[in-house]
């Protein structure tokens, strides 16, 4: 179940964010997930992974923290979110990035070299849901893996040959379980970054489609 002692929220108050104090405070609302430790861990991994010729997509752009930084280091970037308030936040801070309101890959055409996703990964019970937009950034279902599973099932159809995905998860989500989910779908997942955050361990997984061997 979700950890109510932590207000059902992911980690907060990341150190040394690439924003002024005023900019960071603008994100603190009931509707948009603000930049936090998981945001910056995924951003760090993305900047290390990105190549100048990458066609990239960020799913769940939230505050726009990652889109703003990543857009200048890849060939092109599009960002999506199901939350209209998140799209407005991203527009205000990364106006050059094309935005699409979408539920994961729904309505997205084409394939990408690099796909990023900081999903809702906290285990949630139905009675813990507020009905507000912020739930979309937090609620991973009872296992914490409901949205992660949907993402993995659709991922291969949106990666170019040799493409990579970076997926942020938590120890609360279940690292072995997510790696096994990816493997069962013909993909290889490995942790490339990890950081302790209060009550959980955060991981960034790099996911690739396994090479298919020919049959005789």
| Separation CA 19–CA 21 (nearest Å) | 6
pLDDT of residue 12: 40
| Mean pLDDT score of the chain | 83
- Whether residue 132 has pLDDT greater than 90: no
Q: 143: helix, coil or strand?
A: coil
The 10s digit of each residue's pLDDT in 76-87 is: 999 999 888 899
Sketch out the chain's domains with CATH numbers: 37-208 (3.40.50.150)
Q: Find the range with the poorest average confidence among 10-24, 104-118, 181-195.
A: 10-24
pLDDT of residue 5: 29
| Separation CA 26–CA 65 (nearest Å) | 12
The 10s digit of each residue's pLDDT in 142-163 is: 777 889 999 999 999 999 999 9
CA 34 to chain centre: 13
| Sign of the four-CA dihedral 116, 118, 121, 126 | negative
122 and 140 Cβ atoms separated by less than 8 Å: yes
> Higher model confidence: residue 192 or residue 109?
192
Q: Tokens 């993909």 identify what position?
A: 187
Share of the chain above pLDDT 90, in %: 58
| Separation CA 177–CA 171 (nearest Å) | 10
| Separation CA 105–CA 25 (nearest Å) | 30
- Whether residue 140 has pLDDT greater than 60: no
Instruction: Assign 37 a pLDDT band (cuts: 50, 70, 90).
Output: very high
Share of the chain above pLDDT 70, in %: 75
Tokens of 26: 């603008």
């Amino acid at each position: 179940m979700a950890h109510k002692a932590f207000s059902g929220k992911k980690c907060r108050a990341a150190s040394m964010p690439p924003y002024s104090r005023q900019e960071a405070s603008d994100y603190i609302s009931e509707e948009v997930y603000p930049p936090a430790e998981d945001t910056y861990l995924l951003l760090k991994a993305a900047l290390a992974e990105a190549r100048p010729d990458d066609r990239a997509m960020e799913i769940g752009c939230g505050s726009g923290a990652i889109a703003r930084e990543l857009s200048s280091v890849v060939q092109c970037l599009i960002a999506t979110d199901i939350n209209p308030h998140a799209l407005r936040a991203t527009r205000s801070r990364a106006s050059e990035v094309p935005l699409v309101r979408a539920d994961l890959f729904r309505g997205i055409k084409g394939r990408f070299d690099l796909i990023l996703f900081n999903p809702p990964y906290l285990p949630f019970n139905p009675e813990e849901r507020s009905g507000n937009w912020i739930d979309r950034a937090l609620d991973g279902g009872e296992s914490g893996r409901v949205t992660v599973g949907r993402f993995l099932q659709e991922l291969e159809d949106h990666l170019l040959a040799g493409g990579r995905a970076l997926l942020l998860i938590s120890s609360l989500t279940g690292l072995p379980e997510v790696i096994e989910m990816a493997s069962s779908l013909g993909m290889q997942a490995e942790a490339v970054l990890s950081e302790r955050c209060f009550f959980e361990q955060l991981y960034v997984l790099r996911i690739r489609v396994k090479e298919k061997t020919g049959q005789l």
